[in-house]
Amino acid sequence: MNRCYESPKPEPSRSPIYSVRAVPVEKVEANSYNPNVVAPPEMRLLELSIWEDGYTMPCVCYYDAARDRYELVDGYHRYLVLRTSKRIYEREQGLLPVAVIDKPLSDRMASTIRHNRARGTHDVELMSEVVAELTRARMSDRWIRQHLGMDRDELLRLKQITGIAALFADKEFSLGDVDEEPAGTAAEAPRRP
């Protein structure tokens, strides 16, 4: 693991895992949009796993150079174990293994959701807030569905949870999926005489 804090950026064709950094946990911050929730028994199991096996996966972060801080994209609970377990903090010398991605906020939010969904469950209310935030950031329904791995019905349900009026304010009413074909591009039905 690279113990310098300013390790070189990975080449665009290489995955961030090849440039893992050892970062002081005090420089790492949680993001405000992670809908993943872990119950206390699983947190105890995670702490035991890290104690017995060590960190086997780095956390994924975005590096904010202006603030010299790392914002978590994935790995909040592994980060939390290092912050709360004295024995692990001491063994790891307060250093958290981090792989850095350099993406805009909307893409980081999508990355967080993809990581969570690939592993299991997440909090529906927090997930609906992520959808609302991406909608406010003017991401299309198609972009949200594609990047978060959801179908139309799931996206609609999540939008309804946060308040359908605000999230549909800039949309025209349609019974179909407005992202699939813009109006006027489908073949028109023949007219009756």
pLDDT, tens digit (0-9, with 9 covering 90-100), for 27-83: 999 988 776 777 788 888 899 999 999 999 999 999 999 999 999 988 899 999 999
Q: What was the pLDDT predicted at 4? A: 45
Could you report the per-residue pLDDT of 115-155, keeping only the tens digit for each?
Answer: 666 555 556 777 787 788 888 888 888 888 887 777 888 88
Q: pTM for this structure?
A: 0.59
Spatial neighbors of 67 by CB under 8 A, at least 6 apart, are none
Of residues 3 and 61, the one with the higher pLDDT is 61
Angle at the Cα of 51 from the Cα atoms of 86 and 44, rounded to 5 degrees: 80
